Structure 1
Amino acid sequence: MLQSKTRWEIEQQDEATVNVFVEALDVSPVLAKLLVNRGLTTLEAARDFLTIEDKDFHSPYALDGMEEAVHRIRAAIHTQEKILVFGDYDADGVTATSLMVTGLKKMGANVSFYVPHRFSEGYGPNVPAFEKARQEGVGLIITVDTGIAAHDAIEAARLMGLDVIITDHHEPPPELPKAEIIINPKKPGCPYPFKGLAGVGVAFKVIHALWEEVPETLLDLVAIGTIADLVPLIDENRLLAIKGLKRINERPRLGIEALLSVAGIEAGQVSEDNIGFGLGPRINAAGRMDHAKPAIDLMLSENAEEAARLAQSLDEANIERKRIVEEMTNEALQKVELIPDTQQTVIVVAGEDWHEGVVGIVASRIVEAYYRPTIVLSIDPETGMAKGSARSIDGFDIFKALSTCKDLLPHFGGHEMAAGMSLATDQIEALRTRLNIYGQSHLTSELLTPLTRIDQVYPVEEISVEGIEALQALAPFGVGNPKPRFVMEHLAIHSMKQIGSNKDHLKFTFEKDDVKLEGVGFRIGDYYQHIAPDAELSVVGELSINEWNGFRKPQILIEDLRVPQWQLFDWRGQKDIINKLKQLPAKKRQVVCFNEETPNKIGFPPELQEDILFVSQQEIHVSGDEERPYLVFLDLPESIESIQKLFNSRDTFPGRIYAIFVQTEEHFFTAFPTREQFKWLYAFLIKQKKFSYKQAIQAIVKHKTWGQELIEFMFKVFFELDFAKIEEDFVYLNESPNKRPLTESLAYSRRLELSKLEELLCYSSRRDLVQWFKQFNLDLTRAEEATV
């Protein structure tokens, strides 16, 4: 048995709806179920999802304030009034700024851009930046991906005589800033039919309205910002992503082409994954490590050499970002280990001079490691203040939790899954204490176990390259439209090996009903020691196509796995058994020992002594918890009944059995004498009648080349059967013995049974040993059924 690392929840679909989709849309049942899982419960909605590329964009004028914004911007362009685009420093903000500047320049606008410095200015519009703009003669400011909560800065702008048009997509506060115009699909009363646009999507709608046509040349920027900002890839975002990816693959701008090159992404083959894990992090790295301006300059560049240089600088910033993240993560994990368990329901960890730009990434890493809501804080020793980011887990609203501590937090904001905050360093311990008290009452054991949502069970025999290719009808994947995740059950292992320089990945070939499927599991190499070669696995993951040397075949990228049945691990004759035992979870292992002298003979360490369960013919001496699910058979029993007694004492069959069956006495079970050997020795007794025991043994050893132990054993059998007797080293033949079978000798019977035990437990094949242990599992099952 091997438990999965996460809770598996398989989606359930309405079969009637699935059947309708299969018939009307001419899709497979697998694809039909995936459509239902995405909340597409009507035929019209499912068809629109699959054919979104043929649909039109929503009218930009459905956004409240668009008509007024177009009028004001056109007036500024007509009079050559200076326009400032005020953006944000993440990938959404960079692409939104680049898009707005490009779109306005094409119309002849006198436009420039400004993005605040993350560390010296912080997030969003600020008064000093607006004052500088006023001094430079700016008359109109257009915010992108920011501004919806900038009350003070917007009021200051009004007093300076600056007009501000806010374009944003974040959740509006209860009271909106007093800007001239606010364009945000989430603004109360806005009739726009889709509320999930990214900041770059809102900017795109403004240019759409200004150009009076869809700005096709700007779709590449929209795709990058939309995918990188993790907004739902449904409805209009899905259309923007599809068309934008097509634009990137067909006619990428110079800046994107240069970025693809340094990222090692093949042009023409760019996917949403390439943006999420390749382009997005490099664009974000500029603002995380220093200033976002180089990233915007790259997107605006019209010179190949300049683009190559800027792309290289972003790549170097990203490399440095990864190095710092690695160092900070290691430091943070070490600090977490020092926090008492009572303070780890919600993890709060802080370090001096940690890089503020990556605290959110480090928080995410800690969530991955511990699956606990986590706050990572960077302490500035000069100011005595700490700034940080929070990341949460499903079902725990971190923003709501922080709201209970708002008296400790001069600044904080965010949403259910992520937040940012600042506080005085001397308040960190109070924050940790209060959040843990809050967490203990809101986080159940179920919530603290990661959840894996599975789309459906996929029979291995139905998997094909064509079927996997058909799943691309749902792409691009992202938030709101995740990659399909399947479970495959009852898979036999054809082969399994550890791969990677650190052996931290696993590669499988599974087999079921003569069908084979390859699987790769990254970062699950530690499972290798916990999967028996004959185990039947259930695995969860994403299906993909493995292409190698012109061959294409299905494979599953494994995210999690489990072995639902008990397993036998054959450790017979293996070296370094003590270290192997230490690697088993202490709370689960139970070492079964039939001879109380065995642990000392093999040098059993004191820390393992408490795990021993002593079993003799008469009784069971328990040390520790005998319900532990891993039974380790350390030595050989005296009889089958000893093992039978052990299993009869248990209510459940163990999840794992480890067979060691060490022999502490050299040649304890030697060759069993044959009947012919017994006949020869008896004839020897008759011939000699009286002789020296020691001399006889030496003579027989020399004459027959039998082992001394074997000869002594045969004599012992004859003594027990009263065929002869020994007195002071002399052996006398009983000339009138009763005819008795050899099995009446206690030594003979015991040796016969021990010989069979040795053959069964020490020298049988692994398969035979598994079958033998199964009988005890069946006995327990029958006992359970009998009590029902």
Structure 2
Amino acid sequence: MILPKYNWNIHSIDYNDNEKAIANQLNINPLIVSILFQRGYNTLDKIKSFLNPNIDSFHNPFNLHDMQKSVDRINTAISNDEKITIYGDYDADGITSTAILYETLQNMGAKVSFYIPNRFTDGYGPNSDAYKKIINDGTTLIITVDNGVSGKEQVDLANQMKCDVIITDHHNLPDELPNAYAIVHARYPEHQYDFGNLSGAGISFKLATALLGDFPSELLDLAAIGTVADLVSLTDENRAIVKLGLIAISQTERPGLNALIHKAGLKLDNINEESIGFGIAPRLNALGRISDASMGVALLTTFDDEYADELAKETDSKNTQRKKLVSDIYEEASQKATNLIEAGHNTLFIVGNNWHEGVLGIVASRIVEKFHKPTLVLNLDEQTKLAKGSGRSIEGFDLFNALNHSRSDMTSFGGHSMAVGLSVQEDNLSKVYANLDKNALEQDIDTISKPTLNITAAIDIKDINKSLFDNLEQLAPFGNDNEYPVFEFKHDSISNVTTMGAENNHLKFRLNSGYNNINVLAFNNGKYSQSVTNSFDVTRVAGHLVLNTWKGKTSIQIMLDDLCCDGPEIIDQRSNVLKKDYFNDAVTYVFFNKNILNQVKSYVAEDAKCIYVDDLSFDNCSDNIVIVDCPVNMATLDKVLSIADSKKIIFILYKKELISKFGMPNRQQCAKIFKFFAKHNGFDLKQNYQQLCEFLNISKRSLFLILKVFDELNFISIDRGLIYENKQPAKREISEAPAYQQMSDEILLEKKLILSSKEELSHFIRNKYDQRKDAVK
């Protein structure tokens, strides 16, 4: 049995006339139109707009709150040769936001510099000491990018020091906003922008557009990186940013971006949103996590090839270091998480020592993935007694809101519903955790059992081809709110199950349907190798399609999102010999023949159970059972399967001699034998059994069965080994004899259980379980 990680929400595809008409008009697969209908794009114009984003897809930047006011103030600063400082953030979104505005202001002739706060000395968000330093260095205008709305104290400080602050941000707005000169935010209260889900880089791009008075297509590459990295909704304007930005990246003339792409092992002619999410963004994020993110702005804005290559090399090195730190901390944090769960906590508040603060957000994400609980991971500095870290949430639980109630108990705090950053004094840790757990109960977190996997449709692997894949790619770029379509893949069986990776932690197998097959790649699912093998015919697979190129050959494969299997694993260990090593496990061994049970009982492990079928019950049946010998009738097998609610059933099905080897007695054999006894009335069977078999050319087993049938039908009488013909017996068919019927059932059972293929055995047992379920219903 394999339990799914997600609750599968499977949509049905129903190609109505309107969908078919649109598909024909656009010359695309009707499945694509149905997917878009599912996602709310239910008219021809909406679908055209979605499939073909362009410059016209961008909204007027001056519709953003305080945009005109910001542009006017910046232009005044440029005219007066004021010093402008861009105050950024140390993640990929913050780095690209800074680079966009820095490059824009440079091109406008501004006297501009940038400041990227240090994660370790400045903390998360605005920092008062940093503001003081910036202003004392001559800055009269600070422009924040990807941060600022939580900096009321810092803005008040700047105002006192005669420095204006323009905030451009996209994070959740606090109850009390800073008294800034201007706040550019897509969700500003009572001044909502046309699209409220821009990233920090997206807001920065809008400001650049407004300042330049023209569409800055040369900045789309940076805006796309920030948008993908920050995991914002890839719809509306963000979709246009990334769609056009990917083209810009593939044609980029930025030496730094080119060098970084090369270090990540990517190719410019094959850049997509995954290239950003798994190649470019992690390397930029590593700078802020490990050292100084200012290097990232320099990398993206320099036009010096040699310097760019040097920065890209250093950036890649930091990413390697980051991976090692994550791996080490995760192991320790995972054990702490287990302890908290065992203690009954609904949220995980994990505090460690000597943990690198820069990677705690990644660790928190992995803990959430493993345990499916809102998670905070913090490092406690033993000297300052200050714990700093990050939090990640689960679908349906607002982590920002849950912690916002404890804002006064935290030194710093910010973020949104799914991710937060925070600092807490050691004395307040237990109070913050208690409030978090309390809020989890108030949000009824117990009802949030598993995340939901939205499955677009169930499709047969026979319908998968390059044309379908190319049609699906028209829905790209994929991300939040525009996920790659996930399908349940219908198949007949699974084969070629193998594990991969240094620790065999990855899984690969093949789905088969008729003459069609397709490979499935399942990362971090190597532990299910044997289960998938044992449940090859009933394992359900959900995933998405990707292209795989190996040794110059490109093929479509499935990237697994989830798998499951109802019912027990069925393991075929059929044998006509009983070996001692069959009985080494602590399981339940079931016997249909007491003699066989007594013969092997001494071999069975001490902590195992040996049970005769008549004594089997729900109480003595364990998760794993072994059916040792072969039942003689269907009823006894049904009894075992009706009781066994096991995760694994191993079939040995030992039988010393198969009845089917001899075959059922036929009419000619019976007639020949009956005539013999009619002529030899009073035949002494004891004395002449062997000779009679040789004379009749029949096995002893077959002769014995036929004589038993004759006796049951009253054709003959047997008295002390002598056989007498009964005169004028009632006319009856040999199939009426109980012995004949029993033999017939036993042969049928042998065919189903012993002489069948692995596939046939599995199907037979599965059908039995399905019948049991139907009977219960």
1:559 aligns with 2:561: yes
Instruction: Tell me the equivalent position of 2:734.
Output: none
Name which of 758, 762, 765 aligns with 1:766.
Answer: 758
Superposed CA deviations along residues 255-312 of structure 1, whole A, max 9, x for unmatched, are 1011011111112321111111111010011111122111111112221111111111
1:500 aligns with 2:494: no
1:238 aligns with 2:228: no
Give the conservation status (yes or no) of the 8 Å contact 2:535–2:570.
no
Instruction: Tell me the equivalent position of 1:659.
Output: 651
Give the conservation status (yes or no) of the 8 Å contact 1:81–1:140.
yes
The change in CA–CA distance for 1:59 and 1:749 in structure 2 (over 3 A counts) is closer
Instruction: Tell me the equivalent position of 2:619.
Output: 624
Distance 1:259 1:775 in 2: 56
Give the conservation status (yes or no) of the 8 Å contact 1:170–1:186.
no
Distance 2:422 2:579 in 1: 54
Q: What pairs up with 1:129-140 in 2 under 5 angstroms? A: 129-140=130-141
- Give me the TM-score of the superposition, normalised by structure 1: 0.82
Q: Secondary structure of 2:23's partner? A: helix
Deviation at 1:67, TM superposition (A): 2.3
Distance 2:481 2:239 in 1: 10
Instruction: Tell me the equivalent position of 1:6.
Output: 6
Superposed CA deviations along residues 466-490 of structure 1, whole A, max 9, x for unmatched, are 121112222111122111111222x
1:521 aligns with 2:522: yes
1:276 aligns with 2:286: no
Deviation at 1:429, TM superposition (A): 4.9
Deviation at 1:114, TM superposition (A): 0.9
Distance 2:206 2:515 in 1: 55
Distance 2:555 2:521 in 1: 13
Deviation at 1:599, TM superposition (A): 10
The change in CA–CA distance for 1:27 and 1:446 in structure 2 (over 3 A counts) is farther
Q: Secondary structure of 2:103's partner? A: helix
Give the conservation status (yes or no) of the 8 Å contact 2:201–2:227.
yes
Q: Secondary structure of 2:527's partner? A: helix
Q: Secondary structure of 1:474's partner? A: coil
Instruction: Tell me the equivalent position of 1:330.
Output: 331
The change in CA–CA distance for 1:74 and 1:777 in structure 2 (over 3 A counts) is closer
Distance 2:289 2:123 in 1: 12
Give the conservation status (yes or no) of the 8 Å contact 1:168–1:183.
yes
Superposed CA deviations along residues 101-147 of structure 1, whole A, max 9, x for unmatched, are 11111122111111111111112222222222232222222211111
What code does the residue aligned with 2:338 have? E
Q: What pairs up with 1:310-349 in 2 under 5 angstroms? A: 310-339=311-340, 341-349=342-350
Q: What pairs up with 1:694-773 in 2 under 5 angstroms? A: 761=753, 765-767=757-759, 769-770=761-762, 773=765
Deviation at 1:780, TM superposition (A): 4.2
The change in CA–CA distance for 1:601 and 1:195 in structure 2 (over 3 A counts) is same
Distance 1:59 1:735 in 2: 107
Deviation at 1:544, TM superposition (A): 2.2
Distance 1:403 1:423 in 2: 13
Superposed CA deviations along residues 584-629 of structure 1, whole A, max 9, x for unmatched, are xxxxx865344675697364444444xx65423xxx3436365x78
Superposed CA deviations along residues 345-392 of structure 1, whole A, max 9, x for unmatched, are 222222112111111111111111111222212121222332222211
1:633 aligns with 2:627: yes
Instruction: Tell me the equivalent position of 2:256.
Output: 255
Instruction: Tell me the equivalent position of 1:694.
Output: none
Instruction: Tell me the equivalent position of 1:743.
Output: none
Distance 1:158 1:294 in 2: 29
Deviation at 1:524, TM superposition (A): 2.1
Q: Secondary structure of 1:52's partner? A: coil
Give the conservation status (yes or no) of the 8 Å contact 1:288–1:357.
yes
Distance 1:735 1:262 in 2: 92
Distance 1:464 1:778 in 2: 33
Instruction: Tell me the equivalent position of 1:615.
Output: 613
Give the conservation status (yes or no) of the 8 Å contact 2:361–2:391.
yes
Q: Secondary structure of 1:659's partner? A: strand
Instruction: Tell me the equivalent position of 2:488.
Output: 487
Distance 2:722 2:458 in 1: 77
Q: Structure 1 unaligned runs (5+)?
A: 583-588, 691-696, 705-709, 722-732, 741-745
Q: Secondary structure of 1:328's partner? A: helix
Distance 1:407 1:81 in 2: 37
What is the percentage of aligned positions where both structures have the same residue?
A: 34
The change in CA–CA distance for 1:418 and 1:602 in structure 2 (over 3 A counts) is farther
Aligned-pair RMSD on alpha carbons? 4.4
Instruction: Tell me the equivalent position of 2:222.
Output: 221
Give the conservation status (yes or no) of the 8 Å contact 1:96–1:145.
yes
Superposed CA deviations along residues 462-512 of structure 1, whole A, max 9, x for unmatched, are 3220121112222111122111111222x1126322131333333333232
Instruction: Tell me the equivalent position of 1:538.
Output: 540
The change in CA–CA distance for 1:563 and 1:602 in structure 2 (over 3 A counts) is farther
Superposed CA deviations along residues 152-197 of structure 1, whole A, max 9, x for unmatched, are 1111111111122222222222332122222222222435322222
- Give me the TM-score of the superposition, normalised by structure 2: 0.83
1:74 aligns with 2:66: no
Deviation at 1:568, TM superposition (A): 3.4
Instruction: Tell me the equivalent position of 1:111.
Output: 112
Give the conservation status (yes or no) of the 8 Å contact 1:613–1:622.
no
Q: Secondary structure of 2:563's partner? A: strand
Distance 2:722 2:11 in 1: 83
The change in CA–CA distance for 1:630 and 1:74 in structure 2 (over 3 A counts) is same
Give the conservation status (yes or no) of the 8 Å contact 2:65–2:184.
yes
Distance 1:409 1:164 in 2: 25
Instruction: Tell me the equivalent position of 1:178.
Output: 179
Give the conservation status (yes or no) of the 8 Å contact 1:535–1:563.
no
Superposed CA deviations along residues 40-76 of structure 1, whole A, max 9, x for unmatched, are 2343322211221252532222223222222222222
1:643 aligns with 2:637: yes
The change in CA–CA distance for 1:659 and 1:92 in structure 2 (over 3 A counts) is same
Instruction: Tell me the equivalent position of 1:693.
Output: none
Give the conservation status (yes or no) of the 8 Å contact 2:63–2:193.
yes
Q: Secondary structure of 1:556's partner? A: strand
The change in CA–CA distance for 1:386 and 1:657 in structure 2 (over 3 A counts) is same
Superposed CA deviations along residues 679-730 of structure 1, whole A, max 9, x for unmatched, are 9xxx9xx99x99xxxxxx9xx9xxx9xxxxx999x99x99xx9xxxxxxxxx
Q: Secondary structure of 1:343's partner? A: coil
What code does the residue aligned with 1:320 have? Q
Instruction: Tell me the equivalent position of 1:201.
Output: 202
What code does the residue aligned with 2:397 have? F
Q: Secondary structure of 1:55's partner? A: helix
Deviates more, 1:30-39 or 1:753-762: 753-762
The change in CA–CA distance for 1:667 and 1:658 in structure 2 (over 3 A counts) is same
Deviation at 1:758, TM superposition (A): 7.5
Deviation at 1:530, TM superposition (A): 1.6
Deviation at 1:87, TM superposition (A): 0.9
Deviation at 1:767, TM superposition (A): 4.9
Q: Secondary structure of 1:233's partner? A: coil
The change in CA–CA distance for 1:565 and 1:305 in structure 2 (over 3 A counts) is same
Q: Secondary structure of 1:510's partner? A: strand
Distance 2:470 2:658 in 1: 62
Distance 1:165 1:41 in 2: 40
The change in CA–CA distance for 1:175 and 1:330 in structure 2 (over 3 A counts) is same
The change in CA–CA distance for 1:67 and 1:776 in structure 2 (over 3 A counts) is closer
Deviation at 1:637, TM superposition (A): 4.7
Paired residues, number? 737
